[in-house]
Structure 1
Amino acid sequence: MKNTGLNIQEIEYILNHAFQEDIGSGDITTNNLIPENTIASARMTAKADGIIAGLPIAELVFRKLDPDLVWNAIIEDGDRVKKGDVILEIKGTFRALLTGERLALNLMQRMSGIASETAKYLDAIKDSKVKILDTRKTVPGLRSLDKYAVKMGGGTNHRMGLFDLAMIKDNHIKIAQGITNAVSQIRKSIPESIKIEVETTNLEEVKEAVEAGADIIMLDNMSNDMTKQAVELIQGNTLVEASGNMNLERIAGVAATGVDFISIGALTHSVTALDISQNIFF
């Protein structure tokens, strides 16, 4: 697999589990119909317009079944396709092409759906410098693939998990009895390299977060007018993220308020898979 930024050991773990789930002790239909060394070719085709993601993952699926597979990707991850475009052609054992088809398509279709949705949001704010962020609203066990797909669509990854950024949310603030106490307590206990983000819901909380020294301030479910007021209050003293109920209809208006980031859970939590087909030919 070429350098994609993905962890190969993690991908192997994901695929091993997926193989056990789908193939188990073997593909009893294919293995009892197709002679072992029969060679065939297959072609994947886009059945809808979108952005492709997951080609290196699909290649790994098929190579686990046939190490000598001939792989010919017509495009690369992150490329746009139109309905009818050929994505790739592969040649290998007929058994490998049939047994790996569903798993490869499941992963590629989901990842391409995420990339395509992300690109729609980027297109909606193409004249803005605002970055589109993903969230932790991903399929458990597939977060690295979901977030990779966001990047292929032009988005930016937010924190990978609970371990790489301190996110102080409403319940944390309650237990700490205020934003100032929460930021101070956490800052004393974590390395300086780890940033602290504070969720705010009104201008008073925004002011307190600035004064407490937050690295990033999240404006949660604020109207566009309040978001603009918050940005003016912050005056560039910290990075600003808008979050909550984001959709394509309002994204341009939110970007115009002057925020640095807009986080969108819908990129990964309610994905519409991009339709891709695989057909065998000889």
Structure 2
Amino acid sequence: MIHVSAAPVLALRGVSKRFGAVQALTDVDLEIRAGEVVALVGDNGAGKSTLVKTVAGVHPIDDGTVEWKGRPVEINRPHDAQDLGIATVYQDLALCDNLDVVANLFLGRELRRGGVIDEVAMEKRAKELLDTLSIRIPSVRIPIASLSGGQRQVVAIARALIGEPEVVILDEPTAALGVEQTAQVLDLVERLRERGLGVILISHNMADVKAVADTVAVLRLGRNNGVFPVKETSHEEIIAAITGATDNAVTRRQQRTAEAAS
């Protein structure tokens, strides 16, 4: 049993973000705890990407507060987020096809010994990391170009863990993957939770959300539209929150039940 700690590692309180005349986020709250997977869902244009980029330091917030372990922090650039312990894996992965797995894992964070890149230490650490995450790859020395989509995705997630973050943000990690590759990525998300990391999973895929998330946070038109415990919430209730439909099969059924009881 995984114990989710009571206090959030990362919390957004009343966060707003504007781009010129466009209000992208309005008064958004979000909490992420250690050992918890929070799925962030919403239609296109709901503000999911903007929210992720504010946490990752790409778009500093205009109003509100970001808290890290209960204290207010300022995240004005990507380095600020990384220094706190927030790692983000974007949809485009930003992997170098011509480099091998080891070189990609340590890109920009190469291990050195006496001023020289220590290939042996990096290869050893790469194998250990992939083993602890149960990531199966033919060899850590094969070029990224020869890996499947699912393998590339898990390498990108593993790379985010090199800096030992406490919160990992995954932007649509299964969007372009088949069934088997999706299962591989979702298995890895579960292992991140088991290691006590807080995970923000952005997804359009309700099956993925149901499979691995503990909580679903819905954004609609840049605002909070509900936070739901996955185990106790129906697919229809989440869809209704995403679309903003107040009159749907779920609400009509609830209405009929209430009327019958009165």
Fold equivalence (TM over 0.5): no
The answer to which structure has the higher strand fraction is 2
TM-score under structure 2 length normalisation? 0.29
Q: Which structure's relative contact order is higher, taking Cα pairs within 8 Å and 6+ residues apart?
A: 2
Pair member with larger Rg: 1
TM-score under structure 1 length normalisation? 0.28
